[in-house]
Amino acid sequence: MRRDIPQDGVRRNEMIRAREVRVIGAEGDQLGILSSSEAMALARESGLDLVEVSATSDPPVCRIMDYGKFKYEQQKKKADAKKRQSVIQIKEIKVRPKTDDHDYETKLRHIRRFLEGGDRCKVTVFFRGREIVHKDRGVAILERMVRDLADIAKLEQEPRAEGRTLQMLLVPKK
């Protein structure tokens, strides 16, 4: 890493090496092209920092501002953007072809809660032993779930068989 560039990547005050810089005042007004020492003196007079905004332009653009406040606002914007970002998860509920009505209702409540929370839900019917012969029971359970959840969910992936399981994917309606 070069010495003249600080860790946060923003040159300020004495770190600015250019002879001449285009200066933007604290209020956003253009002050024109000044020598870096003049610009530094202006910044010190107002009790602020001279911060390099665009190093690639010719001459480099610097702004007179409170660097600590600027850095704090950048962190706030970053945190706010992260907070607004939503992560959609896929929740999975497993049932068996012999699942009783009460257990079915409990699983249905869980799926409803997941979907209302904005998550997708993968419903898996898994077969043990010779239950695999009765795939129609598994399909019936999945179709019943789609009917019972029709008010808040739509089917994204039709029920499909994979080995000893039947799976479908439900997504919340907008």
Q: In what order do the strands lie in the sheet with 90-95?
A: 90-95, 120-126, 165-172, 153-162
Rg (CA), the chain: 31
Cβ-proximal residues to 147 (8 Å cutoff; 6+ apart), any chain: none
Q: Which pLDDT tens digit goes with each residue over 51-87?
A: 888 878 888 888 888 888 888 988 999 999 888 887 7
Please provide the distance, in angstroms rounded to a whole number, between the alpha carbons at the two ends of the chain.
Answer: 49
Question: Each residue of 95-134: pLDDT tens digit?
Answer: 999 999 999 999 999 999 999 988 999 999 999 999 889 8
Q: Is pLDDT of 6 > 80?
A: no
Phi then psi dihedrals of residue 147, to 5 deg: -65, -45
- Cα–Cα distance between 62 and 102 in angstroms, integer? 69
The pTM score is 0.53
Q: Which residue has the tokens 């690639």?
A: 56
Q: Tell me which of 149 and 2 has the higher pLDDT.
A: 149
